[in-house]
């Protein structure tokens, strides 16, 4: 159980973390998701003891973590660029954490060997044990870094952009592997990523961060379907964004009223967010918007159409994903209706 | 020295301890002794200080040290550029050996260089004898000082300019040529200007080294007061006469001058970094 | 040294080089200059040293005065290299692994001895410990010998060799970053364990490089040592000082015999430096 309370961290005038609170329960696999500069890596490093907050509390299993340095926290940390010891073999890298233990609790050589072998088996790289890090592929380094972090039987496991430095194919494989590994060893884990797909696919719970604050915490389904802010909506999944005007619960686009409600949204300039696949296409005159189809591409079960909306003076071109039950043609005049949508007050 | 809050709040241990030891050692070996020099010079009144510096012998010594060092640095600038160009751009037998031995000048003790140069340029020496027939006397004249200063300054220019020329992008020369520039224009308008910061840095380093040089100069200099006596030697002479004040005054002037040169070098390097795109400087 | 492209197409060769006559003239100038200023001085040292035969050479080296100078030089080098090694590594750790204000200023302070004339490096210690110096009278009263004795020679040598180790290590350690150290700490290693098991193996070639250059300068230093030594025969003469004395007494064979040892030191240093630079280049290949 990790508890972070009211953490503040400043680098000069820049607030990297601005009053952050977070609780992670035992056995969870949590993703810290956000764009670069959102403070996610700083938060991870503070939990590990590699950085120190200017204010706030961190506790691990109810114990004040800030009373201890990184070497006493029993936190496994996997670095973005792995930070493997370049002058040691894979075996010695994994054994390091066991060899530096105080003499009183240090395992004997046979036990260390057994443990390292067990870990290398766990990450399926037993056959590489006498290689040096420079002789490994990126994916192999990643798994060795993980085995090394697990060697000290950490209370929690922290991973900084675990797939960031890998190419796309390896990344996909490792995602599934990490999820099943977590299932197997069940150690409380937090990983940092800027890739929403990665977060949604791997984590049990997603923590979305922006500008040093946590903006939403929820299951992957939650943050995708019910984004709490305009930022979350545009950062996670692809969205159609339209600048609209809200007046007493009614929505207008370019001065033209739309046939949708905006209950509970304050009047004024706002933004309408719709997922591409949530735009229902109907015959002209039946929906909220009218538009002319400009261009259609079909792939697999969907057709992606560019539609020019005529709204007030200007035209806005949006992209929608429609099922292929009704083929669209360039030049068609169609009516669009958002099945699900969100309106957020304000310009940004 | 403020630590800016780094120590206690860094992930790695030992900042306070290592910084404390560093500052202590630095103070004991470098700062306190240098401060002592300036403290000693404050015991002199401004008149006394001025009197020492403007005495004929001191003034001559300073003129010889600074003047000849400047002239030697100019020779180093030109010859250094030629050597770098030949080593980097051309292939000739023994090129790698010649490249390697430039560093000998850094490693050879100055006293050894001094006796070797003297023996070489003495009237019966391998080079001194033929030069004498031409009526040129090198050893035991100001010309000898000049030669020794060229000797100790040359590696500074070579080793500062060489990496910059190696990293110079071949494409800029090809671009210049494709735009119709002839070779002379390409070299003078494209290549040399991009070497200017490195050349000036090498020049300043060679100059600073030559001004303070002692070991390789005193053997060949002749050490005649007002004619071939360098400032560092005058400091030694004043010390042996127990005229500490005189020694201190000369030392302070030389020290301030070399600080100014080093300050100029730092400025040059900062200027070069802002002026030259990063990929020219990255070695790897 | 980096070799620019070895396979040069003839088209590029034409574009990027000068007419043959200019090439020949420039190469001739460079080779002549380096021969006169580097090769000949080295050759002359050995020629003079052996000018009276091998026997004269070795009898000059086995003279008690020569032996005592060799012993003193080795001792002073050991002291100053040892101390500067320890403090150079400590300073490099503080400077390269942490961020703090005034870092560039601190590095320029460490560099100071490079820009101070050797004679002044000796003078500052005379002003502190000399008979008319700040602490001279007290030292005299208590019969402590610093000047014109080994401590003074060691101090002056430490002063002039101060920057070598730190300067060899700071860029290397900055380039290597702090990630491996952070990994070690997060795996439970103490500060000392992290240094000896992770940092030191990564910088060992750099340490050797610094020690090598520091040692060459320490053994060869002349100006600074000359000021503080007092030239007491058989006691406070280092090898470079003995070269001067013998030379001034017209004992050329003896002077050049000692000088040849120092020249050999320079040559060995150069070879070792080339080998180390190769290791350093390899060691700097990033992990990926």
Which chains border C (3 or more CB–CB pairs < 8 Å)? Answer: A, B
Kindly indicate the confidence band of residue A265, based on its pLDDT and cuts at 50, 70 and 90: confident
Q: According to the model, what pLDDT value does residue C5 have?
A: 44
Q: What is the pLDDT of residue C70?
A: 96
CA–CA separation, A89 and A328 (whole Å): 60
**pLDDT value of position A290:** 82
Task: Give the A window 64-93 contacts with C, CB below 8 Å.
Answer: 69-77, 79, 81-87
> How many residue pairs from chains B and C have C-beta atoms closer than 8 A?
310
The pLDDT, as a whole number, for residue B1 is: 33
Flag if C98 and B239 touch (Cβ within 8 Å): no
Q: What is the DSSP string of A231-293?
A: HHHHHSS-EEEEEEEEETTEEEETTEEEEEE-TTPPSEEEEEEEEGGGEEEEETTSSSEEEEE
3-state SS assignment for residue A308: strand
> Residue A59: in which H helix or E strand, if any?
strand A55-60
CA angle in degrees (0–180, nearest 5) for B257-B261-B264: 140
Minimal C-alpha gap between A51 and chain B (Å):
6
CB contact under 8 A, B89 and C17: yes
Confidence of residue A325 (pLDDT cuts 50, 70, 90): confident
Are C198 and A85 in contact, with CB atoms under 8 Å apart? yes
User: What does pLDDT average to over chain C?
Assistant: 89
pLDDT exceeds 70 at position C288: no
**Inter-CA distances, B136 with B74, B114, B133, B267, C152, Å:** 21, 19, 7, 40, 42
Q: Measured between CB atoms, does B13 come within 8 Å of chain A?
A: yes
Mean pLDDT of A199-209: 94
> Tell me, what's the pLDDT at C16?
66
Least confident of B126-140, C9-23, C81-95, C243-257: C9-23
What is the mean pLDDT of the segment spanning A265-278? 86
Q: What six digits make up the tokens of C215?
A: 């040692």
The answer to whether residue C167 scores a pLDDT higher than 80 is yes
Q: Among the ranges A277-286, B43-52, C13-22, C260-269, which has the highest mean pLDDT value?
A: C260-269
Q: Do A86 and C189 touch (CB under 8 A)?
A: no
Give every CB contact of residue C44 below 8 A, 6+ residues apart in sequence. B116, B119, B120, B125, B126
C-alpha dihedral sign at C52, C40, B232, C73 = negative
The pLDDT mean for chain B works out to 87
The most confident of the ranges A88-97, C6-15, C102-111, C269-278 is A88-97
Q: Chain A: nearest CA to B282, how far in angstroms?
A: 21
Give the tens place of pLDDT for each residue, A296-321. Answer: 888 888 888 888 887 666 678 888 88
C190 at A interface, C-beta within 8 A? yes
Percent of chain B, pLDDT > 90? 56
DSSP designation for A106: P
Distance from CA of A206 to the nearest CA of C (A): 25
Nearest to C117 among B10, B232, B239 (CB): B232
Across B181-190, B208-217, C250-259, least confident range: B181-190
User: Chain C closest CA to B107's CA: distance in Å?
Assistant: 5
Q: What phi and psi, each to the nearest 5 degrees, are found at residue A246?
A: -105, 125
Q: Given this model, what pLDDT does residue B192 score? A: 86
Give the max Cα distance, chain B: 73
pLDDT of residue B275: 61
Lowest mean pLDDT, pick from A166-180, B169-183, C120-134, C210-224? B169-183
pLDDT of residue C19: 81
pLDDT tier at C14, thresholds 50, 70, 90: low
Q: Which residues of C touch A148 (CB under 8 A)?
A: 183, 187
Rounded mean pLDDT of A220-241? 90
Query: Is pLDDT above 80 for C155?
Result: yes
Is C191 within 8 Å of B211 when comparing Cβ atoms? no
Residues B68 and B152 sit within 8 Å (Cβ to Cβ)? no
- A256/C46: higher pLDDT: C46
Q: State the nearest Cα–Cα gap between A245 and chain C, in angstroms.
A: 50
Q: What average pLDDT does this structure show over A7-24?
A: 92
Question: Does B233 score more than 90 pLDDT?
Answer: yes
Q: What is the predicted pLDDT for the residue at A6?
A: 94
What is the arithmetic mean of pLDDT over A76-91? 93
Query: Which chain B positions have a beta carbon within 8 Å of A50's beta carbon?
Result: 11
Edge-first strand listing for the sheet containing A302-311:
A279-283, A333-338, A289-299, A302-311, A314-323
User: pLDDT tens-digit profile of C193-202?
Assistant: 999 999 999 9
- Compare all CA atoms of chain A with the CA of C287 and give the residue at the minimum distance: A134
Percent of chain A residues past pLDDT 70, beyond the cut? 98
pLDDT over 90 (residue B110) = yes
- How would residue B9 be classed by pLDDT, with cut points 50, 70 and 90? low
B94 contact A CB<8A:
no
What is the spatial distance between Cα B117 and Cα C260, in angstroms, rounded to a whole number? Answer: 14
pLDDT at C133 over 90: no
Candidates B8, B10, B11, B16: best to mutate against A (most CBs of A within 10 A) is B11
Provide the percentage of residues in chain B whose pLDDT is more than 70: 92
Kindly state the average pLDDT of the residues C198-210: 94
Give per-residue burial for B13-47: e unless 16+ CB within 10 Å, then b: bbbeebbebbbebbeebbeebbebbeebbeebeee
User: Are the beta carbons of C241 and C226 closer than 8 angstroms?
Assistant: yes
Q: Which helix (H) or strand (E) holds A115?
A: helix A109-122
Mean pLDDT for A327-344 is 86
- A69: nearest CA partner in chain B: B11
pLDDT (0 to 100) of residue C96 = 93
Q: Which of A49, A87, A149 sits opposite C201 (nearest CB)?
A: A87
Predicted complex ipTM: 0.88
Query: Model-level pTM greater than 0.80?
Result: yes
């Amino acid at each position: 159980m990790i508890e972070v309370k009211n953490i503040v961290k400043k680098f000069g005038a820049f607030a990297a973390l601005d009053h952050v609170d977070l609780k992670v329960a035992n056995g969870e696999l949590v993703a810290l998701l956000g764009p670069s500069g959102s403070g996610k890596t700083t938060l991870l490093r503070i939990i590990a003891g590699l950085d120190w907050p200017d204010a706030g509390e961190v506790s691990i299993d109810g114990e004040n973590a800030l009373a201890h340095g990184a070497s006493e926290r029993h936190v496994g940390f996997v670095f973005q660029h792995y930070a493997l010891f370049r002058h040691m073999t894979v075996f010695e890298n994994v054994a390091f954490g066991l060899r530096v233990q105080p003499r009183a609790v240090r395992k004997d050589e046979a036990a260390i060997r057994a443990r390292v072998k067990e870990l290398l088996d766990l990450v399926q790289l037993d056959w590489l044990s006498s290689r040096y890090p420079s002789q490994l592929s990126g994916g192999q380094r990643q798994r060795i870094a993980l085995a090394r972090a697990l060697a000290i039987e950490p209370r929690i496991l922290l991973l900084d952009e675990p797939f960031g430095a890998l190419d796309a194919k390896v990344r996909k494989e490792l995602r599934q592997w990490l999820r099943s590994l977590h299932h197997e060893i069940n150690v409380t884990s937090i990983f940092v990523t800027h890739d929403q797909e990665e977060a949604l696919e791997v984590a049990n719970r997603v923590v979305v961060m922006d500008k040093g604050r946590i903006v939403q915490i929820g299951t992957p389904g939650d943050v995708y379907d019910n984004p709490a802010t305009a930022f979350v909506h545009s950062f996670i999944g692809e969205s159609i964004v339209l600048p609209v005007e809200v007046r007493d619960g009614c929505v207008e686009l370019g001065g033209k009223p739309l046939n949708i409600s905006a209950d509970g949204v304050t009047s004024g300039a706002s933004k309408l967010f719709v997922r591409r696949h949530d735009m229902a296409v109907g015959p002209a005159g039946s929906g909220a918007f009218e538009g002319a189809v400009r261009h259609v591409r079909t792939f697999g079960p969907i057709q992606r159409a560019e539609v020019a909306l005529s709204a007030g003076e200007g035209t806005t071109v949006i992209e929608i994903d429609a099922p292929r039950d009704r083929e669209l043609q360039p030049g068609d005049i169609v009516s669009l209706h958002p099945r699900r949508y969100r309106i957020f007050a304000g310009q940004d | 020295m403020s630590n800016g809050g780094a120590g206690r709040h860094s992930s790695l241990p030992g900042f306070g301890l290592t910084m404390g030891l560093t500052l202590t050692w630095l103070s004991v070996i470098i700062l306190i002794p240098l401060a002592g020099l300036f403290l000693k010079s404050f015991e002199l009144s401004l008149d006394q200080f001025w009197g020492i510096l403007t005495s004929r012998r001191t003034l001559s010594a300073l003129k010889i040290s600074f003047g000849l060092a400047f002239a030697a640095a100019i020779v180093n600038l030109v010859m250094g550029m030629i050597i770098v160009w030949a080593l980097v751009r051309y292939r000739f037998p023994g090129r790698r050996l010649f490249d390697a031995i430039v560093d000998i000048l850094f490693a050879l003790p100055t006293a050894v260089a001094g006796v070797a140069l003297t023996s070489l340029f003495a009237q019966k020496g391998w080079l001194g004898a033929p030069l004498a027939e031409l009526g040129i006397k090198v050893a035991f004249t100001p010309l000898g000082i000049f030669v020794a200063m060229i000797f100790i300054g040359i590696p500074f220019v070579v080793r500062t300019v060489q990496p910059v020329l190696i990293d110079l992008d071949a494409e800029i020369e090809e671009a210049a040529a494709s735009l119709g520039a002839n070779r002379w224009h390409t070299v003078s308008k494209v290549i040399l200007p991009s070497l200017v910061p490195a050349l000036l840095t090498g020049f300043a380093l060679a100059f600073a080294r030559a001004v303070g040089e002692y070991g390789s100069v005193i053997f060949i200099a002749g050490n005649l007061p007002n004619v071939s006596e360098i400032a560092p030697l005058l400091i030694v002479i004043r010390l042996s006469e127990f005229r500490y004040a005189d020694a201190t005054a000369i030392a302070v002037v030389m020290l301030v001058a070399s600080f100014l040169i080093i300050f100029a070098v730092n400025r040059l390097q900062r200027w070069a970094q802002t002026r030259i795109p990063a990929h020219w400087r990255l070695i790897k | 040294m980096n070799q620019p492209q070895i396979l040069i197409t003839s088209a590029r060769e034409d574009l990027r080089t000068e007419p043959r006559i200019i090439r020949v003239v420039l190469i001739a100038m460079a080779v002549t200059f380096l021969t006169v200023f580097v090769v000949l001085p080295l050759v002359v040292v050995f020629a003079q040293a052996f000018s009276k035969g091998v026997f004269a050479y070795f009898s000059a080296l086995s003279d008690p005065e020569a032996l005592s100078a060799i012993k003193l030089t080795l001792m002073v080098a050991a002291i100053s290299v040892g101390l500067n090694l320890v403090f150079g590594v400590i300073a490099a750790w503080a400077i390269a692994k942490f961020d703090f204000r005034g870092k560039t200023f601190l590095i320029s302070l460490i560099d100071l001895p490079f820009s101070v004339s050797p004679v002044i490096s000796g003078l500052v210690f005379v002003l502190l410990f000399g008979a008319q110096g700040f602490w001279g009278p007290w030292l005299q009263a208590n019969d402590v010998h610093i000047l014109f004795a080994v401590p003074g020679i060691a101090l002056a040598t430490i002063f002039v060799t101060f920057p070598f180790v730190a300067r060899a290590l700071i860029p290397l350690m900055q380039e290597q970053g702090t990630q491996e150290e952070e990994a070690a700490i997060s795996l439970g290693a103490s500060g000392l364990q992290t240094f000896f098991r992770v940092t030191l193996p990564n910088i060992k070639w750099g340490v050797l490089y610094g020690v090598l250059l520091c040692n060459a300068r320490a053994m060869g230093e002349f100006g600074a040592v000359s000021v503080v030594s007092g030239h007491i025969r058989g006691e406070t003469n280092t090898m470079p000082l003995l070269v001067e004395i013998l030379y001034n007494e017209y004992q050329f064979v003896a002077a050049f015999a000692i000088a040849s040892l120092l020249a050999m030191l320079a040559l060995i240093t150069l070879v070792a430096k080339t080998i180390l630079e190769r290791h350093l280049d390899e060691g700097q290949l990033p992990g990926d």
